[in-house]
A and B are shown apart, each in its own frame.
Chain A
Amino acid sequence: GDSVTQMEGPVTLSEEAFLTINCTYTATGYPSLFWYVQYPGEGLQLLLKATKADDKGSNKGFEATYRKETTSFHLEKGSVQVSDSAVYFCALSEGQAGTALIFGKGTTLSVSS
Chain B
Amino acid sequence: NAGVTQTPKFRILKIGQSMTLQCAQDMNHNYMYWYRQDPGMGLKLIYYSVGAGITDKGEVPNGYNVSRSTTEDFPLRLELAAPSQTSVYFCASSYSQSRGGGYTFGSGTRLTVV
State the A residues within 8 Å of B (CB).
30-32, 34, 36, 41-46, 49, 51-52, 89, 93, 95-101, 103-106
For the side of the interface on B, what is the size category? 20 to 34
Q: Which residue of chain A is the closest to B58 with respect to CB atoms?
A: A100
Q: Decide yes or no: A45 and B105 within 8 Å by CB, A32-B99, A51-B99, A95-B98 being known contacts.
A: yes
Q: Check if B102 sits within 8 Å of A49, measured CB to CB.
A: yes
Residues of A with C-beta under 8 A to B102: 34, 46, 49
Residues of A with C-beta under 8 A to B50: 97-98
Neighbour of A105 across the interface among B33, B42, B58, B98, CB < 8 A:
B42
Chain A-chain B contacts (Cβ-Cβ < 8 Å), number: 65
Q: Which residue of chain A is the closest to B96 with respect to CB atoms?
A: A95
- The list of the 4 closest CB pairs from A to B, nearest first, reads A43-B105, A95-B99, A105-B42, A46-B102
In residues 72-96 of chain B, which contact A (Cβ within 8 Å)? Answer: 90, 92
CA distance A93 to B100 in the complex (A): 9
Residues of A with C-beta under 8 A to B105: 36, 43-45
Q: Check if B97 sits within 8 Å of A95, measured CB to CB.
A: yes
B101 contacts the other chain (Cβ, under 8 Å)?
Answer: yes
B56 contacts the other chain (Cβ, under 8 Å)?
Answer: yes
In this complex, the member of A36, A43, A51 whose beta carbon has the largest number of chain B beta carbons within 10 angstroms is A43
Residues of B with C-beta under 8 A to A89: 42-43
Contact with A along B24-60 (1 / 0, CB 8 A): 0000000001010000111101001010000010100
In this complex, the member of A44, A51, A89 whose beta carbon has the largest number of chain B beta carbons within 10 angstroms is A44
